Structure 1
Amino acid sequence: MKIIVLSDTHGDLETVQAVSAMPADAIFHCGDSELTQDAEVWQTISTVKGNCDRERQFPDQVIRRIGDKQILVVHGHEHDCNRSLLPLYYEAVQQQADIVLFGHTHLYGAEMKDGILFLNPGSPVLPRGDKQPTYAIIEWERDATVSFVNLHNELVDTLQIKNF
Structure 2
Amino acid sequence: MIYLIASDIHGSAYFTHKLIDAYMKNDASRLILLGDILYHGPRNDLPLEYNPKKTYALLNMYRDSILCVRGNCDAEVDQMVLEFPLMADYATLFLEELGGRMIYLTHGHHFNADNLPPMQKGDILINGHTHLPVAKEENGFVFLNPGSISIPKGGWPNSYILYKDRTFTVLDFEDNVLMSLTISG
Same fold (TM over 0.5): yes
Is the 8 Å Cα contact of residues 29 and 65 (structure 2) preserved in structure 1? no
Query: Normalising to structure 1: TM-score of the pair?
Result: 0.77
| SS class of match (2:110) | helix
In structure 1, the residue matched to 2:37 is 33
CA drift of 1:9 comes to 1.0
Instruction: Give the equivalent residue in structure 1 for 2:127.
Output: 102
Structure 1 residues 19 and 47: alpha-carbon distance in aligned structure 2, compared to 1, 3 A threshold: farther
Over the matched positions of the two proteins, sequence identity in percent amounts to 27
Deviation, structure 1 residue 31: 0.7
Give 5+ residue unaligned stretches, structure 2: 39-54, 80-85
Aligned length: 153
Correspondence for 2:4: 4
Distance in structure 1 (CA, Å) of the matches to 2:139 and 2:169: 21
Distance 2:115 2:182 in 1: 25
Comparing 99-108 and 14-23, the one that deviates more: 14-23
The alpha-carbon deviation at position 160 of structure 1 amounts to 4.1
User: Does 1:77 find its partner at 2:97?
Assistant: no
Q: Greater strand share, 1 or 2?
A: 1
Residue correspondence of structure 1 range 1-164 to structure 2 within 5 A: 1-12=1-12, 13-21=16-24, 22-34=26-38, 36=56, 39-54=60-75, 55=78, 57-67=86-96, 68-79=100-111, 81=112, 85-88=113-116, 90-93=117-120, 98-140=123-165, 144-161=166-183, 163-164=184-185
Q: For 1:58 and 1:18, how far apart are their aligned partners in 2?
A: 25
Q: Secondary structure at the match of 2:20?
A: helix
Deviations 1:28-50 (A, max 9, x none): 11111116598233321201111
Measured against aligned partners, the alpha-carbon deviations of 1:78-101 in whole angstroms (never above 9, x if no partner) come to: 22x4xxx1322x4323xx882211
Rg comparison, structure with higher value: 2
Give me the CA root mean square deviation: 2.6
Assess if the C-alpha contact under 8 Å between 1:9 and 1:16 holds in 2. Answer: no
Task: Give CA-to-partner distance per residue, 1:94-117, whole Å, 9 cap, x none.
Answer: xx8822110000000122235432
Q: Which has the higher contact order (CA 8 A, sep 6+)?
A: 2
TM-score (norm 2): 0.70
Aligned in 2, Cα 1:24/1:66: closer, same or farther, shift over 3 Å? farther
For residue 15 of structure 1, report the CA deviation from its aligned partner. Answer: 3.3
Partner Cα distance (2:118, 2:156) in 1: 27
Q: C-alpha separation between the residues in 2 aligned to 1:48 and 1:41?
A: 15
Following TM superposition, by how much is the alpha carbon of 1:61 offset from its aligned partner in structure 2, in angstroms? Answer: 0.8
